[in-house]
A and B are shown apart, each in its own frame.
Chain A
Amino acid sequence: MTFGRYNGRGFILGRYMQGIVQADKLYCERDDRVLFEQLSFAVESGEILHIKGPNGAGKTTLLRRIVGLSWVVDGTITWGADFSADGQQPDGQRFWYLAHRPAVTLQLTPLENLAFSVALHNADVDESLLWQALDTVGLRGYEDVPSGSLSAGQQRRVALSKLYLDLPDVRLWVLDEPFTALDVSAVAQLEKRIEAFADTGGSVIMTSHHGLNHTAVRELQIGVRP
């Protein structure tokens, strides 16, 4: 079943099947301005939901609400049984959340940062795989340097390295502006990685001002006045 839905502030197209996460009538108001209202969408496996909108449209707030960090958005988010025990709060083991603040501790080395991300996922990953992931994002030779002495782009790469780990439990990526500060080749590499993840049935919810071309991409426009 395919249908489109106009929700007052945005237009989305979607096929509703076995959803990983479903949002119903989300509403957010900030400083007396309505950012979005009547916003509904669903994400299913193998799908890339690309949330678009101008600066200040509420994209980051929406992502934070999806993962359960923000309380300033009204409405319901329902998770599939695989992702959450109670349907409300997602199980941290099942997704990666790359936030606006990338959780790269400057006093720790890239390797320690990555190992800590994995530890919070309660996952057991061999250290050689961590080295390999850091190598893939182009941080070979920087594994043992304090992250604070890396460039902005390299620090983003530290944050992104977890996406190259292939943890079997992780079936969803929630990415907030993943292409920020990356150079051209790293952008292309990450694009490919996102598409490959979707091809294996993983789902991605992301915000970006950068366009993506892939059959699995669905766009959700928010913050556009009719």
Chain B
Amino acid sequence: MNVVLRQMLARELTLANRRRSDLANPLFFFLIVVSLFPIGVTPDLQKLSEMAAGVLWVAALLAALLSLDLLFRHDFEDGSLEQMLLSSVPAQLLVLCKTLSHWLVTGLPLTLMSPVLSVMLALPVSAIPLLMLTLAIGTLTLSLLGGIGAALTVGLRKGGLLLTILIMPLFVPVIIFGTSAVQSFANGMPWTAQLALLGAFGAGAFAVSPWLTVAALRVTVGD
């Protein structure tokens, strides 16, 4: 079983590497949105630092959302998805592998980029570790929850917009607690409760999303 999962993860990362252009998209989007913000809104560092956490969070999530549509699309189109659903390995584990590798190639790079971009928005340096931690949890939650939406819309030719509409409501609490944790920390207020709620939300997504994703995939593929 472990061998299969290792091979699945290796396959996903190999494919991500060979489809590099798909991955560059969200990273450039993140870079562009965050760097345009001070130019378009205000160069005032005081004001920028107030909204830094929110801007970084929203831009990172929209960037990650861009790539979600492709999570199952290639596998659906070439027929690999059917074979995964028929496999003797539980499809939930295979889907979890796919979701984790999606995070490794989108959420993780976004998280690693965020300290550099946070300088542009004058986020206090002391808040950077917490920003990275919350972004890591937040993007992982997005990959997990987004998998459900991606599974539901993979059969549609233009599923991107529908996917966004389906996933956004699920994502509102994550944004609220994520930004609020970073902002509270920067303002010297208590922040652990928000972080705990964010983590709880992520753990919940981790527990339910593989099952919901596989159920959605079976519906899409079975039609």
Contact = CB atoms under 8 A, between A and B. Distances in A.
A70 B87 contact: no
B44 interface: no
A102 B4 contact: no
Most chain A beta-carbon contacts within 10 A, residue among B3, B14, B94: B14
A117 B83 contact: yes
Given A99-B82, A103-B83, A116 B89 contact: no
Given A71-B222, A72-B223, A119-B4, A105 B87 contact: no
A69 to B, nearest CB: 6
B190 interface: no
A122 B4 contact: yes
Interface string A98-138: 01111111111000100111011110100000000000000
Contacts of B35: none
Contacts of B87: 92, 120-122
A124 B3 contact: yes
A125 to B, nearest CB: 11
Nearest to B77: A101
Contacts of B3: 119, 124
Contacts of B94: 120
Interface string B64-80: 00000000001101111
A97 B83 contact: yes
Interface in A21-80: 64, 67-72
Contacts of A92: 86-89
A177 interface: no
B84 A120 contact: yes
A71 B1 CA distance: 28
A93 interface: yes
B18 interface: yes
Interface in A166-194: none
Contacts of B14: 108, 112
Interface string B1-45: 101100110010011001100000000000000000000000000
Interface residues of B, number: 30
Contact of A70 (B8, B11, B80, B222): B222
B222 A120 contact: no
A119 B83 CA distance: 11
B62 interface: no
A92 B85 CA distance: 9
Chain A interface residue bracket vs B: 20 to 34
A91 interface: yes
A97 to B, nearest CB: 6
B193 to A, nearest CB: 43
B221 interface: yes
A101 B79 contact: yes
Contacts of A68: 86
Nearest to A92: B88
Contact of B78 (A91, A97, A105, A122): A105
Given A92-B87, A100-B79, A69 B222 contact: yes
Nearest to A106: B78
Contacts of B75: 105
Nearest to A100: B79
A120 B89 contact: yes
A146 B17 CA distance: 13
Contacts of A64: 222
Contacts of A101: 77-79, 82
A121 B79 contact: no
B217 to A, nearest CB: 10
Contact of A99 (B79, B88, B219): B79
Nearest to A124: B3
A105 to B, nearest CB: 5
Nearest to A117: B83
Nearest to B17: A107
10 contacts: A69-B221, A93-B88, A97-B86, A102-B79, A105-B15, A105-B75, A106-B78, A120-B88, A122-B4, A122-B87
Given A101-B78, A102-B79, A112-B11, 8 more contacts: A72-B223, A92-B87, A101-B79, A101-B82, A102-B78, A115-B7, A117-B83, A122-B1
